[in-house]
Amino acid sequence: MTDDNAAAALRPPEDPLSDPFWKSLADGRLTFQKCKHCGNSWLPARGECPKCLQSDWAWENASGDAKLISWIVYHRAFHPAFADRLPYTVAVVELAEGPRMTSNIVGVADPETLKVDQRLRLTIEQDFGMAVPRFIPV
């Protein structure tokens, strides 16, 4: 197991902009930002819509449906906190609502059998003392 200090270092730094994203996950909801001005949706958190540049946006709940854009499988740890988790999978995931995010794919015996664009479903797991959004193949 990862010790408490190491886990703390992996948690996101406190930031007024992104704190709501992580707090919602602790309540069981994956959220994204949606622009009230132009309707664009995005992650990760930012102050202005990257399409129309307005600051008039709100957090919305994601359905949890997603697709797999790409994924990699670590067979060597680049950080000591992950040395006892090898092999593990990191992915770029596109939510049904449009935003893309980094995540992990779990619940698959052999990640080499995954396919690009395959359907995924959100699962929120407790890890490193926080709620981590991960995805399982549908």
Partner 1 sequence: MRGKYVIAGIGQTAFGGLPGRSTVSLNVEAVRNAIADAGIEKDIVDAVMVKYPTSRFEGMYSQKVAEALGLMPGINCVLDQAGASNASLIGYAAMAIEHGQCDVAVVCFADNPKTGSRAAYARSRDANAMFGFFGTPAAYAMLARRHMGQYGTTHAQLGAIAVACRRHGAQNPKAQLRKALTVDEYLAQPMMVAPFRRDDCCLVSDGGAAVVVMSAERARQLKVRAPVAILGFGQGHTAWDVTQRPDLTTTMATVSAATAFKMAGLGPKNIDVAQIYDCFTITALMTLEDYGFCKKGDGGHYVEGGRIEIGGELPMNTAGGLLSETGMPGLQMVLEGVRQIRGEAVTQVPHAKTCIVSNQGGIMHTHSTLILAQP
**Is residue 16 close enough to count as binding partner 1 by CB under 8 A?**
no
CB of 116 closer than 8 Å to CB of 93: no
Q: How far is the CB of 58 from partner 1 (least distance, A)?
A: 20
Looking at 23, 85, 119, 121, which residue binds partner 1 (CB under 8 A)?
A: 85
Nearer to partner 1, 29 or 132 (CB): 132
CA distances from 100 to 31, 35, 37, 45 (A): 12, 16, 20, 12
| Cβ-based neighbours of 48, under 8 Å, separated by 6 or more | 54, 55
Q: Which position among 64, 100, 106, 108 is part of the footprint of partner 1 (CB under 8 A)?
A: 100
Residue 73: φ, ψ to 5°: -125, 115
CB of 37 to partner 1, least distance (A): 20
According to the binding rule CB under 8 A, does residue 44 interact with partner 1? yes
Considering only CA atoms, which of 81, 76, 130, 126 is closest in space to residue 106? Answer: 126
131 DSSP β-pair partners:
126
Per-residue contact track with partner 1, 113 to 132, x per CB under 8 A? --xxx---------xx-x-x
Q: Are strands 31-35 and 130-137 parallel, antiparallel or unpaired?
A: unpaired
106 near partner 1, judged by CB under 8 A: no
Size of the site for partner 1 (CB under 8 A): 38
Binding site for partner 1 (CB under 8 A): 9-13, 18, 44, 69-76, 78-79, 81-82, 85, 87-88, 90, 92, 100-104, 111-112, 115-117, 127-128, 130, 132
